[in-house]
Each structure stands twice: as C-alpha cells, then as structure tokens.
Structure 1
Amino acid sequence: MNQNVGERELVITRIFDAPRELVWKAWTDPERVKRWWGPKDFTSPVSKIDLRVGGSYLNCMRSPEGEDYWSAGVYREIVEPERIVYTDSFSDAEGNLVPASHYGMSGDWPLELLVTVTFEEYEGKTRLTLRHVGIPAGENRDMAKAGWNESFDKLAEYLEKEKSS
C-alpha cells in the first residue's frame, strides 16, 4: 500500500525557554549534541558534524544495555539560525548506510529520510519545529515520536543548564 507524504510524516513543535542562537548551537555543535541526543536513558558517545551544504553528520545513540545505533546524513540546506534540512539514514559506525532491519526495525523504511528543523524566535524563547519525512506509519512512527520527544526533554534540560551557567 502506497502512503502519501502526509501519512509518512512526523511533525513535532516545541517551545524551548532559551534564545534561538543557543538552541541552534545545541543542534550544530557536536559537543553539545552529545549532551542531549537520543531518547531517555540513552547516551550519545559520538557526534561528528560537518555543517555545510553537502557536508555530513554521523551520530551514535547508545542504549542503557550498551547497544549502539548509528545514523548518518547529508546537509541539504542551512540557513543560520533559522533552518536546517538534512537526510537521515541508519548507518554503521563508519557512516555507511544500512537498512532499518540492520537494527531489528520492521516495516517499510526508506533508506533515506528527510528532516527539516526550523528555529523561530517566540516571545524571547525558541519555537522549534521538526519535520521527519519517510517514517512508516504505526508503531515505527509512534516509537520515533516518543524518541524525539524524550530527546527534546533532554534538550530542554541541557538548555536550562547552559542558560544558568
């Protein structure tokens, strides 16, 4: 069954109590990304970012059980500090793309997804909107939504610490 883009799209909007420049840095500086990337109880031991159009990234999420989940992609558009558009794929530790089944995921995952993140100033805070296109509907999308929201909870905590330091 073919799904249209709307059915394969996850959209999450969050307000972060931090200036847009700080939220932007949290997304684009690998040392900052490592502090919040991944769901609750996951860590991010590796983040490599070549922040330019055509540049790539490689991130690792480590589960509480010590399993590593790698993702890689290429930046398609960067408008500092307003918008980042990049591809998103499962990968191995070297950044080679692998199918979702490599990590035991089921369903009709495309090899490459597209992520658009916008950063808007909002009453002294930042309204971040994430659009993740290509995630199969059902349990996969529910898991992705939960994972992103848990990551955003960690991002909010990180930004609170950064602001007060």
Structure 2
Amino acid sequence: MTNQKELIITRVFDLPINQVWSAWTEPESCRKWWGPKDFTCPSCTIDLKPGGKYLSCMRSTQGDEYWSTGVFKEIVPYKKLVMTDSFSDNKGNVVPASDLNMPGEWPLELQVSINFTDCDGKTKMELHHTGLPPEILNDCETSWQQSFDKLEEKLK
C-alpha cells in the first residue's frame, strides 16, 4: 500500500494544556467530544500506559456505531501521545475497514501521534494520522476538525 497518506492538523485551543491532555487520556473527558458533528461517544475505555489499550465508540444519529481501538506506544505527559488506530468490534477485536464499507485500501493498523505545547494558557496541538487512503483524506480531516470543534466547545 504505497498510496497511504499522512494527515496533519494543527489547532490552538483556548484551553489549558491539562484540559486538552485530559480530553485524550481520560474516558469521561473523551466521551464529551469524540467523533464528528452529530456523533456521540457512548463508550470509551483508556488504559493509559505504554502497551495499554483504548476502545471507543462513535454513534451516528441513525444509531450506527463505529468502534476503534489501539495501543499506546509512547506517552510523555502533557507533551506527546503515540498510539495505533484500528477499526474494531465492540470488544476491541480489530476488523478490516472493508467490514464497515469504508472506501479505499486501509491497513489494519494506522498510527496517530499528538504533540501538545503550552502557549501562555492556550494549547497548541498537532495531530499526525498516518496510513490513511488518499480517497478518504478530506473526509478524515473534516471529521477530526469537527471533533476538535466539539472538544473546545464542550470542555470550556
């Protein structure tokens, strides 16, 4: 799969770094914002340690559920998170994107890396999502941006 792409999004949140960090690392905070506009996050578990897993669900207004799971590879508190990212069932078993009718050739495992920088009480966050099929890149960026809009709105 040589056509895989990397999505890079940089956002500055009008929130302190500890709140943005918690949004990614604490299930209660994550449930408030995870998923694009009009999606909810009814379930989220996070075992925040190297080798620890996360499992989260995005639910559409029609009731469709999209589960994702991954393993934390690197954790530098308030600085950096690196984790794998895969589609899964509700038990955390990895499933191919084709099972969810997702377009493009997806690897079973992608990587997400997030860098956090304190900017005088605000937080600069840079997300790298690696391994995405080119035909889904714009949709993924829109989904992430909508999720980040919710993060800022719901955690203020």
Deviation at 1:49, TM superposition (A): 0.2
For residue 112 of structure 1, the aligned residue among 109, 112, 132 is 109
Deviation by residue 1:69-88 (Cα, 9 ceiling, x = unmatched): 00000000000010000000
The percentage of counterpart residues that share the same residue type is: 53
Q: C-alpha separation between the residues in 1 aligned to 2:13 and 2:150?
A: 11
Deviation, structure 1 residue 141: 0.8
Q: Which residue of 2 aligns with 1:55?
A: 52
Moved more, 34-43 or 115-124: 115-124
Runs of 5+ unmatched residues, structure 1: 161-165
Q: Which residue of 1 aligns with 2:153?
A: 157
1:158 is displaced (CA, Å) by 1.6
Q: Residue 40 of structure 1 corresponds to which residue in structure 2?
A: 37
State TM-score, norm by structure 2: 0.97
CA distance in 1, matches of 2:155, 2:11: 13
Structure 2 gap ranges (5+) = none
Task: Say what the alpha-carbon RMSD is for the aligned residues.
Answer: 1.0
Distance 2:11 2:104 in 1: 28
From 86, 89, 94, the counterpart of 2:91? 94
Q: Which structure is higher in strand share?
A: 2
Amino acid in structure 2 at the alignment position of 1:64 = T
Q: Which residue of 2 aligns with 1:2?
A: 2
Tell me which moved more, 53-62 or 120-129: 120-129
TM-score (norm 1): 0.92
What CA distance in whole angstroms lies between the structure 1 residues aligned with 2:59 and 2:29?
16
Match for 2:13: what amino acid? F
Q: In the alignment, residue 17 of structure 1 is paired with which amino acid?
A: D
- Mapped pair 1:146 → 2:142: yes
CA distance in 1, matches of 2:155, 2:128: 21
Q: For residues 150 and 71 of structure 1, what CA distance do their matches in structure 2 show?
A: 17
- Tell me how far apart the structure 1 counterparts of residues 56 and 139 of structure 2 sit (CA, whole Å): 18
Distance 1:152 1:2 in 2: 29
Supply the distance in 1 between the matched residues of 2:51 and 2:85 (Cα, whole angstroms). Answer: 13
Aligned residue pair count: 156
- CA displacement at 1:110 relative to structure 2: 0.4
Q: Matches of 1:89 and 1:25 in 2, distance apart?
A: 21
Deviation at 1:63, TM superposition (A): 0.5
